[in-house]
Chain A
Amino acid sequence: MPDKRTTIDEVVGELRDGMTIGIGGWGSRRKPMALIRALCRSSVKDLTVVSYGGPDVGLLCATGKVRKVVFAFVSLDSIALEPHFRTAMQTGAVETLQLDEGMFLLGLQAAAWRVPFLPTRVGLGSDVVERQRDEIRTVVSPYDDPETGEAEELVAMPALRLDVALVHQNRADAGGNAQFLGPDLYFDDLMCQAAKRSFVTCERIVDTDDLLKEGSHHTLRISRLWTDGVVETPNGAHFTSCVPDYERDEAFQKEYAASAKSPEAWQEWRTAWLDLDEDGYQRKLASR
């Protein structure tokens, strides 16, 4: 088994301008925030970000890293709408591909299975299709439906092919086998499978022998087959939740959300919480 341990900076060093990046988690839950913070500090730009969006999308928009967002929502969960994302949308700062949550899953699955699209009813008649025909098209089934005798016209959800996937898990081993211990994997496995290269951050790197000590075999959903690098980043999903290791830091998230109120407030927050490396961030947090 190869040793895939690496560092946040080395992972960010793999990213290039214009890449399409998939980010795991859901809303303000188990986001690879240590990597996102480092990406915000980097010179990388013009990214297409594919995410069940939370503060990852907000931070990347606020720091000018994003050309296009592929999303079904961008939410902080306890705060319904990501305020930095809202600003980016209302000032015309980013292009979008807007999807239904389920189309997102199908797009990742299509990329993972190396097929150009997957058919679905989802999106029919809605502005996901009607206003985005340049990117979302329909397909007529080659089969007559056994009940109706007719060939249905369905949405052909295109593959969401990713250059890189970034996900955060509770545990991993040095080879990149990764484990989620919370109630929901979200779509982190599909993100990895849809990407050319995938990087996993985790709360703790453990011996492979120890993976089953904290969770059943059902929790081992990301095999090293799908991962190219693994980084131990304790508290690395902060301020999003990473249960059972920790809950969302709601007080911190409120401060983050309030920083969208004015350019001055944002500059202040950015100086305090982005313009320092991950060790500095965690030390500062611990001393609050």
Chain B
Amino acid sequence: MTTTTDASGSASATAGVRRADVCCVAIAECFRGDGEIVANPIGTIPRIGGLLARASFEPDLVMTDGEAMFSNADGVVEAWNPYRSMFDVVWSGRRHVIMGGSQIDAMGNQNFAAIGDMKHPKVQLLGFRGAPGNTANNVTSYWVPAHGPRVLVPQVDVVTGIGYDRAAAAGAAATRYHSVRFVVTNLAVLDFETPDHRMQLRSVHPGVTVDDVVAATGFELVVPADVPESRTPTEAELALLEQIDPAGERFAEVPDA
């Protein structure tokens, strides 16, 4: 059995650690240092991870109830935030969104609009939703529950959320507030902290090898010489995860490997 130490200094066991819990912690870590902004993690594990961050090391985060209200950890309404107000938040930059993506490429471009040509799609997906505005205005990270070469692709079919190359090509107005920060998957955490903003492997989840991640990625990843293991939850975090997700929805989204 090995032990690791999290940023708060408490030891945690990695033996018996559940993959979904590691993913939730990795999502929570996306928000570390964000302070008093809207944390807007979309999806099952993202939402659980966001709530975990607020319940532990980022207590000032503002979060929605999924509808038109900002509510606190007890579900008490703090403020009214209908859809129209959310655009005020996004365009002010006071938000970190975690979106999904049917396709994501090495430069952080995202597609959830369509497979094939967007005007004559082979498969129609969600549409552009808020992805262009999110990526041009506030911090964006992505959640990929099933890391594979059909999701992490050399080129996305439609650019909904803009990556570093497309932002740069569109000019200073597009790069000014653009920041694609992390991609958290069921296998690993990735970032864009490279000279040319190509996606790099940041950490692998316990039980996953670097080769596993490379094989499951449809483009050439930047792989540093030393790739650490993703942080595992502390005992306190495990207790919080049980409180936040007593039904265990996280394990349905990411089963144990």
Contacts and interface: CB of A to CB of B under 8 A. Distances in A.
A73 B126 CA distance: 6
A102 B134 CA distance: 9
A152 B171 contact: yes
A47 interface: no
A41 B123 CA distance: 29
B161 interface: yes
A184 B126 CA distance: 22
Given A99-B128, A122-B136, A183-B68, A153 B171 contact: yes
Contacts of A102: 87, 90-91, 130, 133
Given A26-B83, A183-B82, A96 B128 contact: no
Contact of B124 (A86, A101, A126): A86
Interface in A120-165: 120-131, 148, 150, 152-154
Contacts of B57: none
Interface in B90-142: 90-91, 113-114, 118-133, 135-137
A19 interface: no
Contacts of A124: 132, 136, 162, 167, 170-171, 173-174
Chain B contact-residue range equals 35 or more
Contacts of A123: 132-133, 136
A216 B159 CA distance: 43
A75 interface: yes
Interface in A90-118: 90, 92, 95-96, 98-103, 105
A150 B171 CA distance: 11
B67 interface: yes
Contacts of B130: 72, 100-102
Contact of A73 (B127, B132, B169): B127
A125 B87 contact: no
Nearest to B114: A89
Nearest to A86: B124
Contact of A125 (B120, B125, B128, B166): B166
A71 interface: yes
Nearest to B174: A124
Contacts of B114: 89
B69 interface: yes
Main secondary structure, interface of B, reads mixed
Nearest to A88: B124
Nearest to B65: A183
Given A102-B90, A183-B68, A184-B67, A131 B127 contact: no
Contacts of B123: 90
Contacts of A130: 159, 166
Contact of A90 (B124, B160, B166, B176): B124
Contacts of B84: 105, 185, 187
A184 B83 contact: yes
A81 interface: yes
A100 B128 contact: yes
A80 interface: yes
A127 B128 CA distance: 9
A256 interface: no
Contacts of B131: 100, 126
B90 A92 contact: no
Contacts of B170: 124-125, 129, 153
Contacts of B83: 26, 101, 184, 186-187
B251 interface: no
A121 B68 contact: no
A85 interface: yes
Contacts of B17: none
B221 interface: no
A92 B137 CA distance: 33
Interface string A61-75: 000000000011111
Given A123-B132, A124-B170, A85 B126 contact: no
Contacts of B119: 95-96, 131
A153 B174 CA distance: 9
A125 B124 contact: no
B67 to A, nearest CB: 6
A125 B127 contact: no
A145 to B, nearest CB: 8
A75 B158 CA distance: 19
A164 B120 CA distance: 28
A154 B174 CA distance: 8
Nearest to A85: B124
A95 B90 CA distance: 29
Contact of B160 (A127, A153, A154, A184): A127
A81 B113 CA distance: 11
Contacts of B136: 121-126
Contact of B129 (A101, A105, A131, A150): A101
10 contacts: A72-B130, A89-B124, A100-B129, A100-B131, A101-B133, A102-B91, A123-B132, A124-B132, A152-B172, A152-B176
Query: Top 4 nearest A-B pairs by Cβ distance?
Result: A125-B170, A122-B133, A183-B68, A152-B173
